[in-house]
Amino acid sequence: MGDVQPGDAEELFVQLFAANERHLRAFVRSMGLGWAEVDDVTQTVSLVMWRKWNEFEAGTNFLAWARVIARFEVLKARRTLARDRHVFREDLMDLLADAAEEEMLDHSNEDFHEALQKCLQTLPDKSRKLIAAAYHEENGTIRELAEELGKSATALYKSLDRIRKKLQECIEGRLQDQGEVTP
């Protein structure tokens, strides 16, 4: 940790972690974990980060460092969940992680969230409710939600993918109109 005093190092860790926890959770979620797994993995990531805190170089990108640790912890969690046939392969997880990192770097969070909220409002009620149900913490896994809705998990994934693509196009269009995204 270089010039940072021990007490200051602890305070710096807490400040940086608190400022970035939401982004870290979003990164972990983007790798296809359910909300319960996101909570577990994020907690594990915070513990690993704390243990490795002396390896962090003050003044470097805290979130980038945290994402490297998170990526490894997600892969570990995936291995323990491998009994579930809907678990993605590691190469796909790497692609999701890379895409999530790129997306986080491409957009300012406030503008992105504002665009997301506006784009959600443009969706048909059925699509908006499906997205809300899929991302609501209490709903469990996609498979459980699919059973509840009387659909197959594959059909639900396809529906969600179509809706996410529409949202992505809408968000990119809004951000481009604001000058946030270059064509």
Instruction: Give the total residue count for the chain.
Output: 183
What gap in Å lies between CA 46 and CA 24, rounded to an integer?
10
Whether the CB-CB separation of 61 and 15 falls below 8 Å is answered with: no
- Domain boundaries, given as residue ranges, for the chain: 1-106, 107-183
Q: 31, 65, 28, 35: which is closest to 50 by C-alpha?
A: 65
Instruction: For 107-183, give the CATH class.
Output: mainly alpha
Q: 138, 136, 15: which is closest to 7 by C-alpha?
A: 15
Instruction: For 1-106, give the CATH class.
Output: mainly alpha
pLDDT digits (tens, 9 = 90+) for 117-157: 888 889 898 888 887 777 664 556 777 777 888 888 788 88
pLDDT digits (tens, 9 = 90+) for 25-79: 888 888 777 777 888 899 999 999 999 999 998 889 999 999 999 999 988 887 7
Q: With a threshold of 0.85, does the pTM exceed it?
A: no
Tokens of 29: 């979620």
Whether the CB-CB separation of 91 and 34 falls below 8 Å is answered with: no
Whether the CB-CB separation of 88 and 32 falls below 8 Å is answered with: yes
